[in-house]
Amino acid sequence: MKAKFYLLLFIIGFLIFTDDATAATITVDQQTIAIEGNQHQKKPLVSQPIELQGPSSSRDFYYSLTEDVQLDNQQVTFHIQYSELLIAPSSFTVKVDDVAIKTVPLTTDLRKQTVTVHLPEEALLKGSHKITASFYGILKEGICVAPGNVGNWLRIDILSSISAFTEEGEAWSLNSYPSAFMGYEGYTTTLILPKEASTATLSSGYQLSAYLSEHGQTDVHIQREDAVQKVTGPVVLLGAKNEFSTALFKNIVANIETAENAMTLMMHELQNTNTNQKVPFLVITSTKAEAIAERLLSLTEPRLLEQLAGHTLTIDDLPEVESLLETAIPFKQFGFEDQTLSSQGSITPHYYVSLPQLEANKEAVMRLILKKSATMPSSKEEDDRKLELIVYINNVPHAVDLRKLEQTATDMYEASIPIQANVLNKKSITDVQFEVTGFQLEEPCETTNERYWLYIDSDSSLSLPKDASEPSFTLRDFPNAFHDNVLMVIPDHENLNDTEMSGLYKALMINGKMAQITLVRDKDVTEAALQQQAVIFIGAMDQLTWLSKNAKNIPYTAEQLIQQGFLPEVMAKHAYITKNFWQTKQPLLWLHAFDATSIDNDFYAHLKETDTQVAAAIETKEGQFVVAVDNKVSEQDTEETNGFEISFILIAEFVGLIIVIAVILYIILRKRKKNQLKEQ
């Protein structure tokens, strides 16, 4: 129902013109653009090593094909290592769509193997397919360990790979996006922008580049139209019609019909003359650059881009998409897929989610949607095992008693876990991991305990409390505080480093979602815009008019930098964060580099990993990342000392007042006594 609702919104919001004919082929001479991408190269199968634990365990890998693929020696290769304690009949088996293709024995005389499986024709048909890697481990005689023991293991290494599929007839369509435009080693996506691109087109290009780079194996290569000489993979051409100046690209966009104030997508294929080298070629254009910027969400928002179809599509209006930080964050946003834990796989990989810094003494709530095996005991009397789901949040355990789950109207269960803000605030990137206990029998040699399992749905979510207090910003808030509504200010006349800017846009993504960024030149900035948005200034202070007006509030002189713990002579890159000078509920970030150096992805990665409450950080010319001296402790000590001094003065004044009152009372009483004696 939810999917149909979004589809209806999408159709209502779009003005659609589709062409179901095959994608047009654009041929170019090799001297104009040489196509060197090799689609038959291999793509990485895993992004990090995967460990399977005995006596038996398995892991599934999935891939999807939008069209049938011609059989051409496609294969999947596993590089494996395993424990030296294994003996026959230990084995490693590869299945394709649940059909066993190959089994190899695991013996101690190797300990490392490369297992290659040729994919059958059935595995190349249109649709989704599954590859299953299964491990069966038997230990040396006399050695019995419980399932999950570290001595009984097999590791699938990062060099494991799968062939990059080429669809028969190169049947690319808009439905092939974004999968057909994901780069990997030796096959990199090229994004072509106009030579004299407007800020709106640049911002659109940086967003699209960041999105495809984040979800692909390699970063997108951005090139201006006059510098393109060769491509090594898919190509995207982006810009308004009137922005292109080279004959080839000007002619391509001129032949595309566009509606006023709408964005047109057209899928082609780019081929060299007299060769069979061809790659998918997506053109994104409009009569106005702003029209592309306003509708680019259709290419970066999963709920919208998955509805793309045909070869030509003109997009007028978009349905509204809620802000990430105003709603509960579903697990799938930080890469969590449906997981089933059992005695043979009792712990999940680590998942990482970027969260804003929460107000102290507040609570977030993790809502878990679960399904469990019917044989799992529902009361303590049935079984004395401690059946728990343990959720590790930044290594802090939070336990759920699986015998006390609340059942929903269906056969699913729910559990809510309160999480203190201080636990989430420990790290700028929160680490989440799940483990079940009590599923394994105590007998080390017993392997028949398959009856317990727990399914965790990816629609489980993490709800954050709203911060009502006035925020104070530090580098701990990067990039979360710069996500929903950001004004990015760049110098007027300086040529931008496209790779550097794309890296910044990528760094501002949160859990795979793009930030809402407005890119403007310094001369186009208005005070009204500064009052409504979070602000990022990029460049030297003398190139940024509005920043210069507040120079007295920014530590940038040599003396001020030394006070922050920096040596000005060794600085190559500098980041400083504070409250927005034009309204205090939003942050301001200043990024600049010295001596013509560029701010690369490593610097942004260090900023994202900064957990300490500091306002500034630098990277030295030698590449060392250094954060400012944390003055909060000393300030707090000063405040406490001042408070103590004030309290001491108040106490002294109060004691003095009591003494004065006592003296006055003594004098009055003494006079009264004298008067009484005289009267007698």
In whole angstroms, give the CA distance from residue 664 to residue 492: 76
In 408-479, where do the E strands start and end? Answer: 413-420, 429-437, 453-456, 461-463
The domain made up of 174-315 has a fold known as Chitobiase; domain 2 (3.30.379)
Measured distance CA(364)–CA(348) in Å, rounded: 22
User: Among the CATH numbers 3.40.50, 1.20.120, 2.40.50, 3.30.379, which is that of 475-627?
Assistant: 3.30.379
Q: State the pairing for strand pair 486-490/517-521.
A: parallel
> Vertex 535, ends 532 and 538: CA angle to 5°?
150
Q: 13-39: per-residue pLDDT in tens? A: 443 444 444 568 888 888 889 988 655
CB of 444 closer than 8 Å to CB of 146? yes
Q: Which residue has the tokens 């398995």?
A: 58
Angstrom distance (rounded) from CA 417 to CA 77: 41
In whole angstroms, give the CA distance from residue 75 to residue 589: 48
The helix or strand, by DSSP H or E, that contains position 214, with its residue range, turns out to be helix 199-215
Q: Tell me the three state secondary structure of residue 634.
A: helix
Phi-psi category of residue 295: left, alpha or beta, with phi > 0 → left and psi -120 to 50 → alpha: alpha
pLDDT digits 0-9 by tens, 562-610? 998 999 999 999 999 999 999 888 999 999 998 878 898 899 999 998 9
* Cβ-Cβ contacts under 8 Å for 337 (sequence gap 6 or more): 458
Distance of CA 347 to the CA centre of its chain: 22
Burial class (CB in 10 A: 0-12, 13-18, 19+), 99: exposed
Q: Do domains 174-315 and 328-463 have the same CATH topology?
A: no
Structure tokens at 183: 């780069």
Residue 295 DSSP class: H
Q: Please choose, from the candidates 135, 134, 137, the residue with its C-alpha nearest in 3D space to the C-alpha of residue 108.
A: 137
Structure letter (DSSP) for residue 615: S
CATH architecture designation of domain 328-463 = Sandwich (2.60)
Considering the segment(s) 42-163 as one domain, its CATH architecture is Sandwich (2.60)
Place of tokens 């919001």: 13
Which secondary structure element, helix H or strand E, spans residue 458, and what is its range?
Answer: none
Residue ranges with strand state E in 621-665? 625-627
Note the pTM of the prediction, 2 decimals: 0.77
Rounded CA separation 122/571 (Å):
58
Sequence-distant (6+) residues with CB within 8 A of 193 are: 201, 202, 205, 222, 223, 224, 225, 238, 239, 498
Question: 75: which strand partners?
Answer: 118
- Amino acid 179 reads S
Q: Which residues of the chain have pLDDT under 50?
A: 1-21, 148, 167-169, 324-326, 447-449, 632-648
Domain positions in the chain: 42-163, 174-315, 328-463, 475-627
- b/e burial code for range 272-297 (CB count within 10 A of at least 16 → b): beeeebbbbbbbbbbbbbbbbbbbbb
